Amino acid sequence: MRKGIAEERDLVNKLDRLGFAVLRAPASGSRTKLDRPDIIAGRVGLHLALEVKSTHQKTLYVKKESIHQLMRFAEKFGAKGLLAIKFKHQCPDWILLDPSLLTPTEKGYKINLKSAIKTGIGLEALVTKKITDYS
């Protein structure tokens, strides 16, 4: 079972309640080399490709390729590519973050809880704010 699968189900259910049709990727991804996000969610006018990340730490580190394949998929699909981040036991809500807001590191990217809260958006903003498909 994929790490963080319980978190992913929670996110799927919340997106569903916000009016999105949602599809999770299969848990085993080893059989394909195609780019793919963890979740695709759509409502008429807004399609999202989401990479789900969770951490117990105060800073989230993400591998370069994880972000790059997400953005390749999102551009090809015609969706907005976002990170869906859960800072466990620190912030009860999902934070959605445009990958361009991450700080580059040697091996990839990072963001801390404080910056994520400041620059990210909550799930509800998907339906209350005007967000378009392209980053």
Binding site for a second copy (CB under 8 A): 9, 12, 16, 19-27, 31-32, 34-37, 40, 42-47, 49, 73-74, 76-79
Is there a catalytic annotation at residue 115? Answer: no
On the CB side of 102, CA atoms within 13 Å amount to 26
- Identify the burial level of 3 via C-beta atoms within 10 angstroms of its C-beta, where 0-12 means exposed, 13-18 middle and 19 or more buried: exposed
Q: Which residue out of 28, 30, 66, 135 is catalytically annotated?
A: 28
Query: 5 vs 125, which CB is nearer to a second copy?
Result: 5
Query: 42 vs 120, which CB is nearer to a second copy?
Result: 42
Least distance (Å) between residue 82 CB and a second copy? 15
Least distance (Å) between residue 103 CB and a second copy? 27
Write the DSSP assignment of 41-95 as a string of letters: EEETTEEEEEEEEEESSSEEEEEHHHHHHHHHHHHHHT-EEEEEEEETTT-SS-E
Q: Could you tell me if 58 and 87 are in contact, meaning their C-beta atoms sit under 8 angstroms apart?
A: yes
Least distance (Å) between residue 129 CB and a second copy? 18
Query: 74 vs 95, which CB is nearer to a second copy?
Result: 74
The catalytic residues are 28
